[in-house]
Amino acid sequence: MQTLRDFLKQVENLPPDTLLCVAEVDEAFAAHVAEVEIIEDAKLQNRKAEGTEAVELGNGNQRVVVIRW
């Protein structure tokens, strides 16, 4: 299980305008964060996407933080 302290340590040196994304590890609902990953080559698809993929994790030049649950 990851704590807020663990999460903040991972992202402490990122610029404050870094995008934050969430992604399912599988179809089941999860109670805990499974992984936090910093992607350096993400590509923004749609900043206002709801229920669809807003960020492509690759083929880009933006940094995003992905929380997998």
If DSSP codes are grouped into helix, strand and coil, which group holds residue 51?
coil
Task: Give the model's pLDDT for residue 12.
Answer: 93
- Say what the pLDDT of residue 25 is: 65
Residue 50 is predicted with a pLDDT of 63
Q: What is the pLDDT along the chain (69 residues), one digit of tens a residue?
A: 677 888 899 999 999 988 787 777 665 555 677 788 899 998 887 666 565 677 888 889 988 888 887
The confidence score (pLDDT) of residue 27 equals 57
DSSP 3-state of 48: coil
Write down the pLDDT at residue 20: 81
Let me know: does 47 contact 54? Beta carbons within 8 Å: yes
Burial class (CB in 10 A: 0-12, 13-18, 19+), 19: middle
Quick one: pLDDT at residue 11? 92
Is the CB of residue 64 less than 8 Å from the CB of residue 23? no
